[in-house]
């Protein structure tokens, strides 16, 4: 028994030593930045803007890996199934990190399974209609929706239970106008079908390429949900929800952050936190993100980030309660 105890002590010391060495050598292989949506989506743009910068800051290599499906849950599950060693970094938003587990019974993970690393940016949300819909403001959209109770307007989202789906439910609750929900697996396909007239409108993160499509008459940005947040031209005249008659409480944005699996050694989490903060100071990266009207977060410590994350979980729980969305 004495010899067994000595062996166990030795194994414990070796394990501690191996863990310390792994942390010191991080990264010794390629880091995967997991994006839960297809290439070309707003989240993919953010990842590819920062990918090389983050790799350079940590002194290694990083690739962007796109894995769409199940409103982001497939990518989230892949990160959580990997070892907690910092080689799979999840680029997430409230949709995948918080809402997925609150609204979908099939989601196997919870928000607390993730460890906060660092925030990236906040994106304004806009209401975009297909070019043929005869509305140019939020108030006109509400009026049209209320007049179409026998043939409800349809809205597209990147999936059931996402923030964009909850906004549609809130729209109906606030205005009394029924809507038909059209869920998609890809944001890029959603935009193409919106322009093709497959559905009427969508709540979406702002992207600068909307300007070209609006000029072509294929879609139209009729409003901004972020109170006090002006959009760049040609959308700076778009009606704000705060200035509308029926959507005054639609003050919504969506943030992006980097996360790893809970249990990742704190020195690795801190290193990634510093790398993201340094990358966001790069002038070219900032310019690219700001071109998409994103507001870049100020540097945030890991501990402060955890507090922010906890408060956001509470906030989205309250939104679900307000909407009355039933877990499916």
From-to residues of CATH 3.40.190.150 in the chain: 23-122+255-323
Q: What is the pLDDT of residue 244?
A: 93
Architecture, CATH, for domain 23-122+255-323: 3-Layer(aba) Sandwich (3.40)
- Three-class secondary structure of residue 152 per DSSP: coil
Q: Where are the beta strands (DSSP E) in 131-169?
A: 153-157
Q: Please give the Cα distance from 177 to 295 (Å, whole number).
A: 32
Pair 209, 203: CB distance under 8 Å: no
Q: Hey, which CATH number is domain 124-243, 3.40.190.10, 3.50.50.60, 3.90.1210.10, 3.40.50.800?
A: 3.40.190.10
Supply 60's token pair: 């290694």
Q: Is the pTM of this model over 0.85?
A: yes
Alpha carbons 52 and 59: distance in angstroms, whole number: 10
Where are the domain boundaries for CATH 3.40.190.10 in the chain? 124-243
Q: What pLDDT shows up at residue 71?
A: 80
Predicted pLDDT at 127: 97
| Residue environment code for 127-139, b if the CB has 16+ CB neighbours within 10 A, otherwise e | bbbbeebebbbbb
- At residue 120, what are phi and psi to the nearest 5 degrees? -115, -70
**DSSP-derived secondary structure for 277-327:** HHHTT-HHHHHHHHHTTPEEPPP--HHHHHHHHHHHHHHHHHHHHHHTPPP
For residue 214, the model assigns a pLDDT of: 95
Rounded to whole angstroms, how far apart are CA atoms 166 and 324?
9
CB 35 within 8 A of CB 120: no
How far are the Cα atoms of 47, 54, 261, 269 from residue 299, in angstroms, in the given order? 18, 14, 21, 14
Averaged over successive runs of 10 residues, the pLDDT of the chain (328 residues) comes to: 58 51 81 91 90 96 92 92 98 95 91 97 95 97 96 94 95 96 85 96 93 96 81 88 92 95 97 97 95 92 97 95 87
pLDDT of residue 204: 94
Handedness of CA 182, 189, 295, 93 (dihedral sign): positive
């Amino acid at each position: 028994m004495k010899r067994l105890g000595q062996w166990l002590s030795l194994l414990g010391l070796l394990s501690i030593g191996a863990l310390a060495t792994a942390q010191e050598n991080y990264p010794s292989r390629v880091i995967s930045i997991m994006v839960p949506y297809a290439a070309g989506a707003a989240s993919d743009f953010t990842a590819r803007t920062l990918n090389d910068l983050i790799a350079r800051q940590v002194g290694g290599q990083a690739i962007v890996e796109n894995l769409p499906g199940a409103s982001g849950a497939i990518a989230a599950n892949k990160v959580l199934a990997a070892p907690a060693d910092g080689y799979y970094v999840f680029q997430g938003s409230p949709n995948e990190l918080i809402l997925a587990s609150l609204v979908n019974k099939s989601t196997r993970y919870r928000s607390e399974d993730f460890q906060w690393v660092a925030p990236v940016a906040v994106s304004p949300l806009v209401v975009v209609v297909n070019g043929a819909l005869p509305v140019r403001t939020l108030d006109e959209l509400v009026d049209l929706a209320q007049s179409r109770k026998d043939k409800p307007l349809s809205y597209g989202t990147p999936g059931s239970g996402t923030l964009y789906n909850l906004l549609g439910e809130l729209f109906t609750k606030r205005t009394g106008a029924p809507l038909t929900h059209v869920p998609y697996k890809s944001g890029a396909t959603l935009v193409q079908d919106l322009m093709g007239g497959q559905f009427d409108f969508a709540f979406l993160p702002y992207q600068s390429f909307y300007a070209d499509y609006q000029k072509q008459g294929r879609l139209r940005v009729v409003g901004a949900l972020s109170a006090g947040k002006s959009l760049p031209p040609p959308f700076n005249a778009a009606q704000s929800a705060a200035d509308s008659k029926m959507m005054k409480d639609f003050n919504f944005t969506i943030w992006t952050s980097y996360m790893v699996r809970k249990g990742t050694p704190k020195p690795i989490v801190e290193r990634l936190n510093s790398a993201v903060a340094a990358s966001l100071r790069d002038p070219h990266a900032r310019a690219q993100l700001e071109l998409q009207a994103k507001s870049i977060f100020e540097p945030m410590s890991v501990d402060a980030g955890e507090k922010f994350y906890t408060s956001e979980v509470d906030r989205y729980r309250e939104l679900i309660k307000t909407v009355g969305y039933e877990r499916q």
